[in-house]
Chains A and B, each alone.
Chain A
Amino acid sequence: MVNKMGYPEKEQISKDLMALPDHQDKFKYLIKKGKNQPELNQEFKIEKFRIQGCMSKLWLHPQFKEGKIYFSSDSDAAIPKGIAAILTEIYSGLTPDEALEFDSSFLKEVGVAQHLSMNRSNGLVKLYEQIRLYALAFKSLNRG
């Protein structure tokens, strides 16, 4: 099991969020996180990369370079954009195996997992699933 230990930049996100017990501060952090993320190239803001089922528009673009996965994302809403930025940051730079085994349970501890709810108007759970699907696809590509 790969856990957050050994991934210092991921530990930093965890630490940052843990230090913000207040809802409002967490939102502020997420909004900032989204704003600081480079905007996704317009050519990738297309249906093919759109996460369906979210009331806001949410895109996830994967790349596979030298055996590692790199994600970028964007959204027209600030909080989903921030959460997507965190997820893509966590999962970028991992091999497909590492991504599939990555223990994301810390998201729950830091209060982000509540946004990954099953509510159909909230596509963030689908974003998470899509990240794993890409990891699976790249894994088979790697083998092939």
Chain B
Amino acid sequence: MIDIENIKKQFPSLDQMVHDKPLTYLDSAATTLKPKIVLDTIASYYGKQYSTVRRGLYKLSENTTIAYETCRRHVAKFINAASEKEIVFTSGTTDSINLVAASFGRKFIEKGDEVIVSAIEHHANIVPWQIICEEKGAQLKVIPVNDNGELMIDEYKKLLSDKTKIVAVGHVSNALGTINPIKEMIDLAHEKNIPVLIDGAQSAPHIAIDVQALDCDFYAFSGHKIYGPTGVGVLYGKYEILEKMPPYRSGGDMIETVTFEKTTYQEPPYRFEAGTPPIVEVIALSSALDFLEEVGLDNIHDHESELLAYATEKMLEIKGLQIIGTAKEKTSVISFVMQEAHPHDIGTILDSEGIALRSGHHCAMPIMERFKVPATARVSFGIYNTKEDVDTLIKGLHQINSLFDVD
């Protein structure tokens, strides 16, 4: 059993008043708050040990490079990659997916080919593929979703064909919380030798990831959603695929030799890390992983599952409230609509109670269309949330109903 009160104390930003009410933060699916260990690393690196990486011969740079590359090994271990050479630092999940769509797409996608995504993807796992498909004259195919917000695997099987060049699917839906059966989906694609990219932005903070067991070809996630800094993300790619991919962006540090006639490129992962990387953010990401490992992803999963069950039960007691996304396998995300109050109203009214939650289309407009709602309100839990937070939310939702005269 984990001591949540002790964990909460590690998050200084939780200790603040919003509209004269204590902050109740229920938007961790958008971004998590930061524990002190991450803040301390950032302050300490910018404050003293700061210098460039992989360029200087001097001691300071050497130390920073060691810290930076140690983080790469740490990330590799965290997701059980076969080698740290399979870990590319990016600016976030969006950047990771754009990298694969642009680089893999440029090399391997041709006219008449197909790319498969699902109907519950975040725009970041739709638009980069749309762009490369448009450029190449390829087609985007979409796995449909059932009324519970679960992917229809039989339909997915039908979409897989000789034309499919890649499958790009989220591990967990940001708007609905659905956990997709990615192992099965990867295996099905591999039967036809189709590589699979997993958008792990919403899974990495909740589920222990083993890329070798999953056998995925790419796995992307963000630092800022796993208690780390903004501006840093990870792209895992199988080395033999990364090796075949051309550079995505070009500049310093990704080259081997440059002449005006021809430039040769570094091996992965450096080939994909042009320019000065987010040095301190990468090192602080390692501290976020330390935090996650200390608390334990299994403990996090248990705690959040308990909150999900408690909140779901309490929310369903509220008259006229409908939960959108009722998959059997879910992370701690609850998207909902109310009888009278629009999600915009819900967000505004709860804000006045110090409650931070997301309202809108969650960068997943096709899902809103699918469930015929203009938008939803969404609560999402992190490790620092408690049943008291849920109670505060429930009280706020009752207040909304009373404002709108819904008994």
Chain A neighbourhood of B330, CB < 8 A: none
Is A121 a contact partner of B345 (Cβ separation < 8 A)? no
Task: Please measure, in the bound complex, the distance between the C-alpha atom of A23 and the C-alpha atom of B21, giving whole angstroms.
Answer: 12
Flag if A79 contacts B360 (CB, 8 Å).
no
A130 at interface (Cβ–Cβ under 8 A)?
A: no
Set of chain B residues within 8 Å of A27, measured between Cβ atoms: 348-349, 352, 403
Convert B341-375 into 0s and 1s, putting 1 for each residue whose CB lies closer than 8 angstroms to a CB of A.
11111001100110000011100000000000011
Report the minimal beta-carbon distance from A22 to chain B, rounded to whole angstroms.
10
Let me know if B359 and A115 touch, CB within 8 A. no
A45 at the interface (CB under 8 A from B): no
Q: Are B403 and A28 in contact (CB under 8 A)?
A: yes
Minimum C-beta distance from B100 to chain A (A): 27
CB pair A78–B342 under 8 Å, yes or no, is yes
Tell yes or no: B19 within 8 A of A by CB: yes
B73 to chain A, nearest CB (A): 39
Residues of B within 8 A of A (CB-CB), count: 19
| B341 and A78 within 8 A (CB) | yes
Q: Interface readout for A52-94 with B: 1 if CB under 8 Å, 0 if not?
A: 0011110000000000000000001111100000000000000
Q: Please, which residue of chain A has its CB at the minimum distance from the CB of B359? A: A55
A109 → B minimal CB distance (Å)? 17
CA distance A121 to B378 in the complex (A): 14
Q: Which residues of A contact B344 (CB under 8 A)?
A: 54-56, 77, 79-80, 121-122
Contact A76:B403 (CB < 8 A) given known A23-B19, A57-B374: no
Query: B340 within 8 Å of A by Cβ?
Result: yes
The reply on A36 being an interface residue by CB < 8 A is no
- Any chain B CB within 8 A of the CB of A31? yes
Q: What residues on A are CB-neighbors of B341 within 8 Å?
A: 77-78
Nearest CB of chain A from residue B340's CB, rounded to whole Å: 7
Chain B residues, CB < 8 A from A77: 341-345
Give Cα distance in the complex from A13 to B64, angstroms.
Answer: 60
Contact with B along A99-136 (1 / 0, CB 8 A): 00000000000000001000001100000000000000
With an 8 A cutoff between CB atoms, is B399 at the interface? yes
Chain A residues closer than 8 Å to B349, beta-carbon distance = 23, 27, 79
Q: How far is the CA of A112 from the CA of B353 in the complex (A)?
A: 16
Instruction: Report the separation of the CA atoms of residues A24 and B360 in the bound assembly, to the nearest whole angstrom.
Output: 22
Q: Indicate if B404 sits at the interface (CB-CB under 8 A).
A: yes
Q: B399: nearest residue on chain A (CB-CB)?
A: A24
Residue in contact with A56 in the complex, picked from B19, B353, B375, B403, CB distance below 8 Å: B375
In the complex, per-residue mask of B240-272: 1 if CB is within 8 Å of any chain A CB, else 0: 000000000000000000000000000000000
Chain A residue total in the interface (Cβ 8 A): 17
Looking at B342, B345, B349, B403, which has the most chain A CB atoms within 10 Å of its CB? Answer: B345
Contacting residues, chain A, for B348 (C-beta < 8 A): 27, 79, 115
* Residue interface bits B167-199, CB-to-A below 8 A is 1, else 0: 000000000000000000000000000000000
Partner of A78, one of B19, B352, B399, B404: B404
A55-B375, A80-B344 are known contacts. Are A31 and B404 too (CB-CB below 8 A)?
Answer: yes
Among A31, A54, A57, A80, chain B packs the most CB atoms within 10 A around the CB of A31
How does the 8 Å CB contact mask read for A34-58 relative to B, with 1 for contact and 0 for none? 0000000000000000000011110
Considering only residues 200-239 of chain B, those with a C-beta below 8 Å from chain A are none
Please, which residues of chain B bring their CB within 8 A of the CB of A80? 344-345
Interchain CB contact under 8 A, A56 and B374: yes
> Which residue of B has the minimal Cβ distance to A78?
B345
Taken together as a complex, chains A and B put the C-alpha atoms of A79 and B345 apart, in Å, by 6
Q: Give complex CA distance A25, B41 in Å.
A: 45
Min CB–CB distance A121 → chain B (angstroms): 5
Least CB separation from A28: chain B residue: B403
A121 & B404 in contact (Cβ 8 Å cutoff)? no
C-alpha spacing A56/B399, complex, angstroms: 21
Residues of B within 8 A of A121 (CB): 344, 359-360
Which residues of the partner chain A approach B19 to less than 8 Å between Cβ atoms?
23
Instruction: Give, as a whole number of angstroms, the nearest-CB distance from A95 to chain B.
Output: 32
Q: How far is the CB of B207 from chain A (nearest CB, A)?
A: 28
**Shortest beta-carbon distance from B343 to chain A in Å:** 7
- Provide the residues of chain B in CB contact with A54, threshold 8 Å: 344
What would 6 A/B residue contacts be, using CB atoms closer than 8 Å? A28-B403, A54-B344, A55-B359, A56-B342, A76-B374, A79-B349
Q: A27-B352, A55-B359 provided; 5 other pairs, C-beta below 8 A? A: A27-B349, A56-B345, A77-B342, A78-B340, A121-B344
The list of the 4 closest CB pairs from A to B, nearest first, reads A77-B342, A23-B352, A77-B344, A56-B344
